[in-house]
């Protein structure tokens, strides 16, 4: 089917029909939620900002503080201490977003710095359609880290991972083994929502993976739980699907991680919402995760 533009469709229809057709057309294109009352022309804003670069700089306005002392990627409260010094960034190769993300991430020596640079990163087109940059939630000192796929609609609105229906089920899964968000750190492969909740592309995953790996290096969890096939295949660098990968343990390493992290995979809670019969396997996975956490605690 050829996708026409809105202006192809509208003249043929009138009144409510035209509005419905326009909304259908937006939904097909992945534009499925309103984020403001008035339209914003971001292309024009970018052009104006680029033109303004050539003009003398106005009096400096301080950037909002990164998540500073906050344990999460939530906005820092007004009374938060001053932000960590920004990392010293190497020169970037224009046009190579993956390489850039690697260099930028490697230069970060704290989670606050990483949060700030991910928020400022312009190398992934998903950022342009997202409302918020969604980085992490929970306790950065936690020994258990959970990695999902990408923010959905509710996560994009609130700027926090796993706060929609799948997130509520994830909370119940954690509660089943006596954990809550104060005992885990939760993040995603991608910090921006793919429009219309489509699957992330291999390129988007590759661009953003260095940020996630640096997050793992800075948090240094003992145990890593990858929820869903996208996170499991990307982080474990495997071709098998989640049905084969789940329930096994893999040593996860990066060049800058001290030692290895014990990583496992399980079904995504969004899949469980559609397929409740898979809860049996997930319960087994949760018990194995609980045992692994206890083993790690006894060993330390």
Facing residues of 251 across strands?
262
Distance CA 185, CA 293 (A): 14
Distance CA 48, CA 62 (A): 20
Smaller CB separation from ligand URA, 84 or 286: 286
- Tell the smallest beta-carbon distance from residue 82 to ligand URA (Å): 29
Per-residue tokens: 148? 């999902």
Smaller CB separation from ligand URA, 188 or 266: 188
For position 188 contacting ligand URA by CB under 6 A, the verdict is: yes
- The correct pick among 83, 136, 167, 229 for binding ligand URA (CB under 6 A) is 167
Distance CA 237, CA 245 (A): 11
Question: In what side-by-side order are the strands of the sheet with 249-252?
Answer: 136-138, 184-188, 144-148, 223-227, 261-266, 249-252
For position 83 contacting ligand URA by CB under 6 A, the verdict is: no
What does the buried/exposed string (b/e) look like for 153-191 if buried means 16 or more CB atoms within 10 Å of the residue's CB? ebbbbbbbbbbbebbebbbebbeebebebebbbbbbbbb
Site residues for ligand URA, window 23-62 (CB under 6 A)?
A: none
For position 166 contacting ligand URA by CB under 6 A, the verdict is: yes
Smaller CB separation from ligand URA, 151 or 221: 151
- Tell the smallest beta-carbon distance from residue 227 to ligand URA (Å): 7
Nearest-5° Cα angle at 198, 194 to 204: 50
Q: Write down the residue that tokens 């809670």 correspond to.
A: 269
For position 162 contacting ligand URA by CB under 6 A, the verdict is: yes
For position 72 contacting ligand URA by CB under 6 A, the verdict is: no
For position 204 contacting ligand URA by CB under 6 A, the verdict is: no
**Is residue 90 exposed (0-12), middle (13-18) or buried (19+ Cβ within 10 Å)?**
exposed
- Tell the smallest beta-carbon distance from residue 209 to ligand URA (Å): 15
For position 152 contacting ligand URA by CB under 6 A, the verdict is: yes
For position 136 contacting ligand URA by CB under 6 A, the verdict is: no
Smaller CB separation from ligand URA, 101 or 270: 270
Q: Which residue is nearest to ligand URA (CB)?
A: 148
- Tell the smallest beta-carbon distance from residue 292 to ligand URA (Å): 22
For position 215 contacting ligand URA by CB under 6 A, the verdict is: no
Distance CA 263, CA 195 (A): 29
- The correct pick among 66, 140, 151, 229 for binding ligand URA (CB under 6 A) is 151
Is residue 185 within 8 A of residue 146, CB to CB? The reply is yes
Residues within the interface to ligand URA (CB under 6 A): 148-152, 155, 161-162, 164, 166-167, 188, 270
């Amino acid at each position: 089917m050829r996708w026409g533009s809105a202006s192809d469709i509208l003249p043929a229809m009138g009144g409510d029909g035209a509005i419905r057709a326009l909304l259908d057309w937006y939904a097909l294109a992945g534009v499925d939620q309103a984020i403001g009352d008035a339209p914003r022309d971001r292309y024009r804003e970018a052009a104006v900002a680029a033109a303004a670069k050539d003009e003398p700089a106005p009096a400096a306005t301080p950037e909002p503080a990164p998540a500073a002392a906050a344990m999460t990627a939530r906005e820092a409260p007004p009374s938060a201490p001053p932000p960590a010094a920004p990392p010293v960034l190497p020169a970037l190769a224009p046009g190579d977003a993956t390489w850039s993300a690697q260099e930028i991430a490697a230069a970060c020596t704290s989670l606050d710095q990483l949060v700030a640079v991910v928020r400022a990163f312009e190398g992934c087109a998903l950022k342009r359609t997202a409302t918020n940059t969604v980085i992490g939630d929970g306790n950065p000192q936690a020994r258990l880290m959970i990695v999902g796929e990408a923010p959905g609609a509710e996560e994009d609105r609130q700027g926090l991972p796993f706060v929609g229906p799948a997130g509520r089920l994830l909370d119940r899964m954690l509660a089943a083994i006596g954990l809550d968000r104060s005992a885990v750190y939760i993040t995603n492969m991608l910090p921006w929502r793919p429009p219309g909740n489509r699957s992330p592309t291999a390129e988007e995953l590759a661009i953003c993976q260095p940020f996630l790996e640096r997050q793992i290096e800075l948090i240094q969890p003992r145990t890593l739980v990858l929820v869903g096939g996208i996170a499991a295949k990307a982080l474990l660098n495997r071709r098998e699907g989640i049905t084969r990968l789940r329930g096994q343990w893999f040593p996860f390493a990066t060049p800058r991680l001290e030692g290895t992290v014990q990583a496992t995979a399980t079904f995504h809670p969004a899949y469980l919402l559609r397929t409740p019969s898979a809860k049996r396997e997930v319960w087994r996975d949760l018990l194995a995760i609980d045992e692994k956490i206890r083993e790690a605690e006894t060993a330390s």
